[in-house]
C-alpha cells in the first residue's frame, strides 16, 4: 500500500459537492440554531443533501428511468435503480422524524411559550 500513488481525482463531481454542501449546512444549522422550527428545516435540508447525493450516484449519462416499456430489458438502457429505492426509504424516514420533532416542538411550546431551545432548557432547569 502506498507504493503506487498515481490515482485520478474527479474534480467535476459538482452534484456531489453541492449535496455535501447542503448536508453540511443542514448539519451546522441543526446543531447550532436555537429555534426549534429552524432545526426541523435543517434536518430536512440535511436529508435532502443525502438524497441528492444518492440520486447523483445513481445517474448514468444518457440513460432512462428504470421503467421497462417495450419489453426489452437491457442494462445499458436504464439508470441504476438501487439509489432510487434507497432515497424512497430515506424520504419516508425523514417524514417520520419531521413529524415527531414537530410534535415535540408543539408540546414544548405549549409548556414554555417559546421556540428558543436554550431558553427552554433554562426554563426547565428553573422548574426543578
Partner 1 sequence: MAAVQNFPFVVIMLYLTGGVVCSVLRARAAARYCLLLNAAATVLMAMTLAYTLQSGSSYIYLMGHFSAPWGNELRIGPLEALMAVCFCGVMLLTLMGGMEHIFEDCEPGKINLYFGSVSLLMSSIVAILFTNDLFTAYVFIEISSITACAVIAVNYRNGAALVATTRYMIMGLLGSGVFLIGISMLYDLTGHLLFENLGAAVRAISEDAGTLFPLTIIIGLFSVGMGIKSALFPFHTWLPCAHGNATAASSGMLSGLVLKANVFLLIKIFCRIFGLESIVSHHVPDILLVFGACAMVFGSVSALLERDLKRMLAYSSVAQIGYIYLGIGMGTKAGMEAACIQILVHAFTKPMLFCAAGGFMSVSGGSKKMDALRGAARRDPLSGAAFLVGALSMIGIPLFAGFATKLNLTLAALALHGWKTWACVAAIVLSTVLNGLYYLRAAANLCSEPEQPDPKAEPVHARYSWQFVTSMCVFIVLNLYLGICSGRFMDAIHLGLELFS
Partner 2 sequence: MIRNWFRSLYHWAEEGEFSAAGEDQSPAEQEESSVCLDESNAWLAEVRSDEGFVPRFLSWLGTPAAAALYRDLYRVFAAVICLTVTIVLLVTVPFLPEFGNPDNPANNEVSERYIERGLEETGATNIVAGMILDYRAFDTLGESNVLFAAMCSVAILLRVDRKGKEANIPEIQVWRWDGKANIYLRHATKILIPVTMIFGIFVVLNGHLSAGGGFSGGTILGASLILLSNAFGSKRLEHYFSNTVCKWLTFAALMAYACLKSYSFFTGANHLESGISLGTPGALFSAGLILPLNLCVGCVVACTMYSFYAMFRSGGIEDGV
Which residues would be at the binding site for partner 2 (CB under 8 A)?
A: 9-17, 20-21, 23-25, 27-28, 31-32, 56-61, 63, 65-69, 71, 73-78, 80-85, 88-89, 91-93, 95-97, 99-100, 102-104, 106-107, 110, 118
Q: Which residues contact 27 (CB under 8 A, 6 or more apart)?
A: 42, 46
Q: Examine residue 30 and tell whether it contacts partner 1 (CB under 8 A).
A: yes
Q: Examine residue 27 and tell whether it contacts partner 1 (CB under 8 A).
A: yes
Rounded CA gap, 48 and 109, in Å?
27
Reduce the DSSP state of residue 114 to 3 states and report it.
coil
Tell whether the torsion through CA atoms of 23, 29, 32 and 38 is positive or negative.
Answer: negative
Q: Which residues contact 46 (CB under 8 A, 6 or more apart)?
A: 22, 23, 26, 27, 30
Which spans of this chain sit near partner 1 (rule: CB under 8 A)?
1-9, 23, 26-27, 30-31, 36, 39, 43, 46-47, 50, 53-54, 57, 82-83, 86, 89-90, 93, 96-97, 100-101, 104-105, 107-108, 111-112, 117, 120-121, 123-124, 127-128
Amino acid at each position: 500500500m502506498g507504493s503506487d500513488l498515481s490515482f485520478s481525482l474527479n474534480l467535476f463531481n459538482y452534484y456531489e459537492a453541492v449535496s455535501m454542501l447542503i448536508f453540511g449546512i443542514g448539519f451546522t444549522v441543526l446543531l447550532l440554531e436555537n429555534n426549534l422550527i429552524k432545526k426541523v428545516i435543517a434536518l430536512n435540508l440535511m436529508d435532502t443533501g443525502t438524497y441528492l447525493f444518492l440520486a447523483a450516484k445513481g445517474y448514468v449519462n444518457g440513460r432512462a428511468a428504470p421503467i421497462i416499456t417495450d419489453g426489452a430489458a437491457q442494462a445499458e438502457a436504464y439508470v441504476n435503480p438501487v439509489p432510487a429505492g434507497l432515497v424512497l426509504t430515506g424520504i419516508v424516514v425523514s417524514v417520520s422524524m419531521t413529524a415527531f420533532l414537530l410534535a415535540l416542538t408543539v408540546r414544548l411550546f405549549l409548556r414554555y411559550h417559546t421556540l428558543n431551545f436554550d431558553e427552554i432548557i433554562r426554563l426547565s432547569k428553573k422548574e426543578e
